[in-house]
Amino acid sequence: MSNHPVQTVGESGSKLKVILAVLAVVAGVVGFYFLSGQSGLVRAGALVAGLVVAIAFAWTSTQGREFLGFAKEAVRETKKVVWPTRKEAMQITAIVFAFVLVMAIFLWGIDKLLEVLLYDVILGWKQ
């Protein structure tokens, strides 16, 4: 017996709230450019007002609440990570640089070997 996840149907106005949030952002940006003759404070106020209205609409939608829960969970998981010390990070970085250098030299050598084989030995062209 398979265990399929159940999808619940969100409230019907949730999609409308997201659409209104997008329209509020667009209105704020349009207002910012439409008020080009006004002072920078008025223009920034129009932009911020559009963003605040958009956040208010998005916050009350189902998708907005799910995103907020996801963001909180992401912050909680980030706090669980054991970050390397500065010394460990420097050692790992040095190992990566050394590996890249060795691989670059190896690939250069293979390229030169194939060049000699192809041009000098097989084709007989001297460069």
Domain ranges of the chain: 7-81, 83-127
Which amino acid does the sequence have at 97? F
Report the interhelical angle of 40-60 vs 13-34 (nearest 10°).
Answer: 180
| pTM for the predicted model, two decimal places | 0.47
Distance CA 23, CA 53 (A): 10
pLDDT at 13: 73
On the question of pLDDT at 7 being above 90, the answer is no
pLDDT of 64 strictly over 60: yes
DSSP assignment of 87-100: HHHHHHHHHHHHHH
pLDDT-derived band at 72 (thresholds 50, 70, 90) equals: very high
